[in-house]
DNA sequence: GTCCTTTCGTTGAACTCTCAAGTTTCAGGC
DNA sequence: GCCTGAAACTTGAGAGTTCAACGAAAGGAC
């Protein structure tokens, strides 16, 4: 079977998108690290927890919501525990389950980091997009998700939780 | 100064795009690791070198082209040297410069990995996009790049090298 | 020539992620 | 009750990344 290579247009699109996304992420990471002393991944975890009922989530759900493996999340939560930003609790009924709970200290750290981060996202991304781009981008992202996300778990979580932060 | 939060539409778009991109990248990484025994980052390095004149690039240019820091590239090239896929050479004129050269072994590894990788990119990304999406996506990516890429170096490199691989 | 600054790259330590293997708990037969 | 298998996490080691400090060569200024 002969390989169907990418067309020039496809190749160019791929390079542009990949580059833009990588630079965007690394720039956001650098800024939040500098301004708030935490990596972007921590922010995402804290933000996820802050929006959950009781500021609490099962480890598995938090992993799915942040696109992390369970192992990665477990290590990350251990690090967040050392900073006293998150606390682990055992589920009362199903003793296999571990709940990650955002502490008050964690909430404060998130609240301190949020304005700067949102400003950065706005400056680097949304200030450069038109109203019409938003819907189109989301549409494309949704289609890509359908292909990548085998079990559809990420999509389901996204559909539930797309309200702005409090 | 009060923070201007993201609108519901912006927040949703951001979550979708971020999720789609992260899952896409990690899925591509998993597949090439499984099928070709190399991480996606190695592939990108080898691909970059393979398209360069003489299959040779300065460390700095290769770092810029792959959106890596110089330190990251230096470590990565050291690992690639251990696999005998890349060789270091000193520049004859400017003795500060180090040239990374793709070896024949490296080229073979790339050639073996390419078909599978391209197939994956096609399946996960381009098969889900319409012709019209391509131009729109590239346009958006270019605008984002202008904001993120302070010195415009990534854009310049992209503009030069957007021909399909040989 | 000598000094100062910039450019190009490397290094080591600390941190983060991945992968495979392990523990504990639950749920269903039988 | 007692297996057996699956589910939910954790762990440790190795791979990869980041950050700050460093060395070596080049380019002026004088």
| A93-122 mean pLDDT | 97
Adjacency order of strands within the sheet including B56-58: B56-58, B98-102, B86-90
Note the CA–C1' distance, A48 to D13, in angstroms: 30
pLDDT for position B152: 61
DSSP state of B110: H
C1'-nearest nucleotide to the CA of B98: C9
- Report DSSP state, residue A32: H
Identify which of A86, A41, A103 has the alpha carbon closest to the alpha carbon of residue A67.
A41
Looking at mean pLDDT, say which of A1-15, A150-164, B27-41 comes out highest: B27-41
Contact A23 B137 (CB under 8 A): no
In a domain, B139, yes or no: no
Confidence band, pLDDT 50/70/90 cuts, at residue A128 = very high
Residue A163 pLDDT > 80: no
- Residue A6 in any domain: the answer is no
The pLDDT of residue A2:
83
Nucleotides of chain C touched by protein CB (<7 A)? 7-13, 15-21, 24-27
**Nearest residue, CB atoms, B14 vs list A13, A121, A142:** A121
| CA atoms within 13 A of residue B153's CA, in its CB half-sphere | 12
pLDDT given for residue B14 in this prediction: 92
Total domains, chain A: 1
pLDDT digit string, tens, across residues A22-73: 999 999 999 999 999 999 999 999 999 999 999 999 999 999 999 999 999 9
CATH at B77 = 1.10.10.10
Q: Which two tokens stand for residue B144?
A: 């984002």
- B136 within domain boundaries: no
Mutate to test the interface with B, among A11, A19, A48, A127 (most CBs of B within 10 A): A19
CA pair distance A51, A109, nearest whole angstrom: 15
Contact B11 A164 (CB under 8 A): yes
Structural domain including B109 reads 12-128
Kindly determine whether residue B137 and residue A17, on different chains, have CB atoms separated by under 8 Å.
yes
CA distance A160 to A4: 38
Each residue's pLDDT, cut to its tens digit, for chain B (166 residues) gives 788 999 888 999 999 999 999 999 999 999 999 999 999 999 999 999 999 999 999 999 999 999 999 999 999 999 999 999 999 999 999 999 999 999 999 999 999 999 999 999 999 999 999 989 999 999 999 999 988 766 566 667 767 765 554 4
Instruction: Count contacts between A and B (CB, < 8 Å).
Output: 173
In a domain, B7, yes or no: no
Instruction: Say if B154 falls within a structural domain.
Output: no
Closest CA to B165 of B120, B118, B95: B118
In a domain, A68, yes or no: yes
The answer to the question of residue B151 being in a domain is no
Query: What 3-state DSSP class applies to B121?
Result: helix
First to last CA, chain B: 53
Q: Does a structural domain hold residue B118? A: yes
Instruction: For chain A, positions 10-49, list CB contacts with chain B under 8 A.
Output: 10-17, 19-24, 26-27
* pLDDT at residue number A27: 94
Which residues face A102 on adjacent strands? A86
In this model, does residue A158 exceed pLDDT 60? yes
């Amino acid at each position: 079977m002969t390989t169907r290579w990418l067309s020039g247009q496809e190749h160019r699109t791929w390079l542009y998108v990949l580059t833009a996304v990588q630079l965007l992420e690394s720039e956001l990471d650098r800024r939040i690290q500098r301004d708030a002393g935490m990596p972007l991944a921590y922010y995402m975890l804290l933000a996820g927890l802050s929006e959950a009922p009781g500021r609490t989530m099962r480890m598995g759900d938090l992993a799915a919501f942040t696109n992390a493996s369970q192992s990665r999340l477990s290590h990350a939560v251990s690090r967040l525990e050392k900073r006293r930003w998150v606390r682990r609790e055992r589920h009362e009924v199903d003793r296999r389950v571990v709940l990650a709970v955002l502490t008050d200290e964690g909430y404060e750290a998130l609240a301190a980091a949020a304005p700067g981060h949102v400003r950065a996202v706005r400056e680097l991304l949304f200030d450069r997009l038109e109203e019409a781009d938003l819907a189109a981008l989301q549409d494309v992202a949704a289609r890509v998700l359908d292909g990548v996300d085998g079990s559809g778990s990420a999509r389901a979580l996204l559909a539930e939780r797309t309200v702005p932060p409090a």
